């Protein structure tokens, strides 16, 4: 089959790999329909986060081609969403609701595990990992949104859930990448009354507004802090969603979070220092991390299928598997928010 291979920073190539086969009786083989490029893939591409040589890509939807003899809930022909990690569903972390921290799981598209930027993927623990999409004849728009359930929409949702966004809240979203934009959707969905998106990019500002942002703050750093505090009578926001992962974005999130609130952080951290004095003397908490996507997908799926949320709108670049690199380059050059990879037709 054709598959993307990570050969080192800025060296991602599409080449041939053996077709995956059922290894364990709980496996399934998925024929990928759509993959996509994650912000974390970009860190790998740039050489700023380590990645094993070999398959890459952890966001995909596809059609089940074959299942092992112990797979019960997934069958050949099913359209499935794969969360970015596989999980056994039975370990202490899975039972606790943290499937992305499964003690026997791992990430698709790293450390030799099949990646979603390829024609086929072997999914371990198919019952616990894959989520079957009910119905048929889904529109192109729906399919694009389903791809976001693999990671980015669940990650934005995790920022909002971690920050305990409540109906009526004032929420600020730090970061206007695909995760930040999905966090705006999540905050809207959870009933936030006012959503302040920090963005200085026109197109992203427009998308944030479409997703429910009521206010835009184009400033950064201290300027952003002053602007948000001025908008909230000096009190700060009820929930600050940190969707970047840099030291500056974390600092900004804590500086605008009101006393007693929680910073919901989902950005992969790079040179981040948590301001412990703000934690202790202003009672601002910090929660978040790797999204338990497998837990969230069943909750978000009906909203996608019934058109109440449309996170697929974050894809503003599309390519096919053979031209995958163009998707990386468009994001690297900030010409694209997020790249969709059309691997095959349904």
Q: List residues binding a copy of itself (CB under 8 A).
A: 92-93, 96-98, 100-101, 162, 233, 235, 245, 258-260, 262, 265-269, 272-274, 276-277, 279-290, 292
Do you know the residue count of the chain?
346
Closer Cβ to a copy of itself, 203 or 230, answer by number? 230
Shortest distance (Å) from residue 175 CB to a copy of itself? 14
Cβ proximity to a copy of itself, 102 vs 133, nearer residue: 102
Smallest distance from the beta carbon of 227 to a copy of itself, in angstroms? 18
Query: How far is 78 from 76, CA to CA, in rounded Å?
Result: 6
CB of 6 to a copy of itself, least distance (A): 20
Q: What are phi and psi of 79, to 5 degrees?
A: -85, 125
- CB of 61 or CB of 153, closer to a copy of itself: 153
- Is the CB of 263 or the CB of 304 nearer to a copy of itself? 263
Q: CB of 244: closest distance to a copy of itself in angstroms?
A: 12
Measured between alpha carbons, how far is 74 from 324 in angstroms, rounded to an integer? 29
The whole-angstrom separation of Cα 325 and Cα 323 is 6
Tell me the β-bridge partners of 285. 262
Q: Smaller CB distance to a copy of itself: residue 265 or 325?
A: 265
Distance (Å, whole) CA 62 – CA 67? 14
What does DSSP say about strands 60-67 and 12-16: parallel, antiparallel, or unpaired?
unpaired
**DSSP label of 101:** G
CB of 110 vs a copy of itself, minimal distance in Å? 13
Strands 85-86 and 106-107 turn out to be: antiparallel
The SS3 call for residue 20 is: coil
């Amino acid at each position: 089959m054709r598959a993307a291979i990570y050969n080192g920073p800025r060296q991602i190539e599409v080449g041939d790999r053996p077709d995956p086969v059922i290894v364990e009786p709980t496996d399934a083989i998925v024929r990928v329909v759509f993959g996509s490029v994650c912000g974390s893939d970009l860190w790998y591409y740039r050489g700023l986060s380590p990645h094993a040589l070999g398959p890459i890509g952890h966001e995909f939807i596809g059609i089940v081609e074959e299942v092992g003899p112990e797979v019960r809930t997934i069958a050949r022909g099913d359209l499935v969403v794969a969360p970015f990690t596989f999980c056994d569903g039975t370990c202490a972390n899975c039972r606790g609701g943290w499937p992305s921290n499964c003690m026997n799981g791992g990430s698709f598209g790293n450390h030799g595990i099949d990646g979603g930027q390829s024609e086929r993927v072997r999914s371990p623990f198919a019952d616990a990992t894959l989520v079957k999409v009910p119905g048929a004849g889904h529109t192109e728009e729906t399919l694009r949104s389903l791809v976001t359930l693999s990671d980015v929409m669940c990650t934005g949702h995790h920022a909002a859930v971690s920050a305990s966004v409540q109906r009526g809240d004032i929420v600020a979203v730090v970061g206007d990448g695909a995760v930040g934009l999905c966090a705006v959707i999540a905050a809207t969905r959870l009933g936030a009354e006012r959503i302040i998106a920090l963005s200085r990019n026109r197109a992203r500002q427009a998308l944030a507004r479409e997703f429910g942002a009521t206010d835009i703050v184009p400033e950064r750093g201290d300027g952003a802090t002053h602007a948000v505090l001025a908008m909230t009578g000096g009190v700060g926001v009820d929930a600050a969603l940190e969707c970047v992962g840099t030291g500056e974005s974390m600092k900004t999130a804590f500086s605008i979070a009101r006393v007693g609130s929680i910073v919901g952080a989902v950005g992969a951290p790079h040179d981040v220092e948590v301001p412990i004095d703000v934690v202790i003397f202003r009672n601002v908490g910090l929660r978040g991390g790797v999204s338990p996507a497998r837990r969230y997908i069943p909750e978000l799926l009906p909203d996608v299928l019934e058109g109440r949320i449309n996170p697929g709108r974050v894809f503003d670049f599309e390519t096919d598997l053979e031209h995958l690199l163009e998707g990386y380059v468009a994001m690297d050059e900030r010409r694209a928010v997020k790249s969709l990879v059309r691997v095959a037709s349904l």
